[in-house]
Amino acid sequence: DQSLADLDPEIAAVLDGELDRQRGTLEMIASENFVPLAVLQAQGSVLTNKYAEGYPGRRYYGGCEQVDVAEGLAISRATELFGAEYANVQPHSGAQANAAVLHALADPGDKILGLSLAHGGHLTHGMKINFSGKLYDVAAYGVDPETHRVDMDMVRRAALETRPKIIIAGWSAYPRQLDFDAFRSIADEVGAYLWTDMAHFAGLVAAGLHPSPVPVSDVVSSTVHKTLGGPRSGFLLARDAERFGKKLDSAVFPGQQGGPLMHAVAAKAVAFKLAAGAEFADRQRRTLEGAQILAERLSAPDVRSAGVSVLTGGTDVHLVLVDLRESTLDGKQAEDLLHEAGITVNRNAVPNDPRPPRVTSGLRIGTPALATRGFGAEEFEEVADIIATTLRDALATDVPWMRARVERLTENFPLYPGITA
């Protein structure tokens, strides 16, 4: 058999180039991470050849004896890790996990209530041209205009006004913890299901560094590839298997998907195993510490006087939201400038952003990937200073100097040492 390099040198060059890019830059996109070698191995394995429609022990295809073991392990490890009675590990992605939740708990036309996209919600929580916005009757709550935090009185008022079938707790760009107990009591008051999408903070939950939504939510959805640091994919949990298990299973398959990606399912099992360990917990601790160091440096007087500030004044998760409304840089310029310095972040709308979504007035900066790379407080202080100085000096930044500082960090923390793409 021909190797990839022989058969398809153009794609082989992309893989090589991407490995070099990941090694040579600082990855600070809040939703990204570096998977361990064991996850890469499981995902790039012969399990990709197998069809396995159905669930372990009740498949619609023969020859599933090995993949049944993998899925069984993924399920039992997920339920144990998060203290749930039920898990479904087949969703191909976070968006498909969310589609299955809506499919299971609501009918087209039913009212759903989630955090608005413009204030940090996700596309699948009711964005107008996403399936969630097209199929369901969407109402949204926003963050408080002054504090930029989710205010549970506002959520309650929105719920009483709109009487949704489902209330969604969860976010893609928000730097604080949610009050799950308050969400539960509002859901009970209006007779709604409570669905929490913990895609962003699942790793922190697994490490016990963030309140768990599992005990109070009816259904929890998540991705595996953000703080949790596993393969690109999704999964579902429920506290009450009897009440929600069958509904969710049939919403995933055959409701939303055909054959599961068994290589990804096996890789999820590996990721859940790792997430139960002490090394993982330490990584999540450094993730939080890094985000706090970054928030503090970006709140220093020299940065503030350049019109740069931190939304909500800090963070208690793995990311910081930078407000550039008063800066000379817009979100796009800031993202490009940091990219030139070798730091990858994404521009992000701030609540009530005066600029269009392609430009924005903010940045979302996350620490999970660098914590995985081995960074601790000392390295995060250096990264925070590079970012703060760059945003402060804006177009007058000494980019080659920043790039040199980034290179020193990347060289001291080699990524995937010894492997080739």
* Contact residues: ligand PLP, CB under 6 A: 31, 93-95, 98, 122, 124, 170, 172, 197, 199-200, 223, 234
Q: How far is the CB of 120 from ligand PLP (least distance, A)?
A: 9
Residue 2 CB, shortest distance to ligand PLP, in Å, is 32
Q: How far is the CB of 397 from ligand PLP (least distance, A)?
A: 29
Nearer to ligand PLP, 29 or 300 (CB): 29
Q: Which is nearer to ligand PLP, 197 or 353 (CB)?
A: 197
Name the closest residue to ligand PLP (Cβ). Answer: 94
Q: Judge whether 123 is annotated as a binding position.
A: yes
Structure tokens at 227: 């703080």
Closest CB to ligand PLP among 372 and 397?
372
Distance CA 324, CA 338 (A): 14
The residue to which tokens 């490995």 are assigned: 19
**Identity of the residue, 94 or 362, whose beta carbon is nearer to ligand PLP in the bound complex:** 94
Which residues lie closer than 8 Å to 350 by C-beta, 6 or more apart?
311, 321, 323, 324, 325, 360, 361, 362
61 is catalytic: no
In 3D space, the residue among 297, 282, 280 whose CA is nearest the CA of residue 380 turns out to be: 297
Which is the catalytic residue, given 16, 23, 53, 381? 53
- CB count in 10 Å sphere of residue 50: 19
18 is in an annotated binding site: no
Q: Kindly name the residue from 184, 232, 268, 405 that is annotated as catalytic.
A: 232
The question of whether 151 is a catalytic residue gets the answer no
- Residue 121 is assigned to a ligand binding site: yes
C-alpha to C-alpha distance for 370 and 367, rounded to whole angstroms: 6
CB atoms within 10 A of CB 147: 12
User: Strand locations in 117-257, DSSP E?
Assistant: 137-141, 166-170, 193-197, 219-223, 234-238
Q: Is 223 a catalytic residue?
A: yes
What sign has the CA pseudo-torsion 89, 271, 197, 210? positive
Sequence-distant (6+) residues with CB within 8 A of 155 are: 141, 167, 182, 183, 186
Q: Is 6 designated active site?
A: no
Please say if 197 is a catalytic residue.
yes
Q: Please, which residue, 112 or 388, has the CB nearer to ligand PLP?
A: 112
Q: Of 59, 149, 226, 297, which is the active-site residue? A: 226
Annotated active-site residue in 16, 23, 51, 285:
51
226 is catalytic: yes
Annotated binding residues? 117, 121-123, 242
Q: Active-site positions?
A: 51, 53, 197, 223, 226, 232
Annotated binding residues for (6S)-5,6,7,8-tetrahydrofolate? 117, 121-123, 242
